Amino acid sequence: MRKYDVPTWYIESCKKIKYMFPKAHAAAYVLSAVRVAWWKLYYPREYYAVYFTTRCDAYDIETMIQGRDVVYNKYQSILNDKQNGVKISNKEEALISVFEIALEMFERGYHFSNISLEKSDSQNFIMDPDDDMALLPPFVSIDGLGTSVGDSVVEARQKNKFLSKEDVMKRTKLTNNQIEFLTKLGAFENMSEENQLSLFDL
């Protein structure tokens, strides 16, 4: 480098910097940013569906489906704890960025629908076919619910419509805790407890 009169400051920089960002790499980053911005502007619901599916390491789906105010309060609570030196969990740390994007989405008029046994995907956030402004969370957004369990719900409903909560428990891999959580969310609201109908169900 000295042979070709490379400036000393550049040589010293090379000794300190492990990776010199080339122009081609910088250009690729800019092109990627432009593409993302285009989708975010013209296809916001698709953008948020992909973002929450691929870029998030944690979810608090019970909070997220309750809308802007509930998400904002939870977000502020975590931030306050962090700023006051209270140790927060890895999940709470991850939720900070998740809540920020969710709040941005709410400000643009979009929201999350409740998890649906009949419509939700196993792994991906999808556009709610019954609400042009909503995203449907996947089954894996529930803590501790893995892909195979989510797939079991999708496969079961493709064969036959769920008749009751009992039917769901028998035909899927959902655990009792997951059934309880879905019940808490209201996923079984229009479904009877058992397969056998009573006179009051008629």
Query: Would the pLDDT of 201 be above 60?
Result: no
117 and 17 inside one domain: no
Specify the CATH number for the domain of residue 141.
Answer: 1.10.150.870
141 and 159 inside one domain: yes
At 199 the pLDDT is: 41
35 and 104 inside one domain: no
195 CB-side CA count, 13 A: 8
50 and 149 inside one domain: yes
Q: What is the mean pLDDT of the chain?
A: 93
Cβ atoms of residues 58 and 95 within 8 Å: yes
88 and 107 inside one domain: yes
User: Over the stretch 160-180, which tens digit does the pLDDT of each residue have?
Assistant: 999 999 999 999 999 999 999
Q: How many domains, in total, are found in the chain?
A: 2
21 and 97 inside one domain: no
| 4/26 Cα distance (integer angstroms) | 26
User: Over the stretch 2-37, which tens digit does the pLDDT of each residue have?
Assistant: 999 999 998 998 888 877 778 898 999 999 999 999
| 103/108 Cα distance (integer angstroms) | 9
Task: Provide the residue type at 27 as one letter.
Answer: A
59 and 126 inside one domain: yes
Query: Would the pLDDT of 198 be above 70?
Result: no
38 and 99 inside one domain: no
7 and 62 inside one domain: no
For 64, residues 6+ apart whose C-beta sits below 8 A from its C-beta are 71, 98, 102, 112, 137
User: Over the stretch 93-143, which tens digit does the pLDDT of each residue have?
Assistant: 999 999 999 999 999 999 999 999 999 999 999 999 999 999 999 999 999
At 187 the pLDDT is: 95
Q: What percent of the chain has pLDDT over 70?
A: 97
DSSP 98-153: HHHHHHHHHHTT-EEPPP-TTT--SS--EE-TT-TTEEEPPGGGSTT--HHHHHHH
62 and 75 inside one domain: yes
8 and 21 inside one domain: yes
User: Over the stretch 47-95, which tens digit does the pLDDT of each residue have?
Assistant: 999 999 999 989 999 999 999 999 999 999 999 999 999 999 999 999 9
H helices present in the chain, as ranges: 8-16, 23-42, 44-54, 61-64, 68-83, 90-107, 147-159, 165-171, 176-185
34 and 62 inside one domain: no
Domain of residue 26, residue span? 1-42
At 29 the pLDDT is: 93
Kindly report the number of other CB atoms within 10 A of residue 151's CB atom: 17
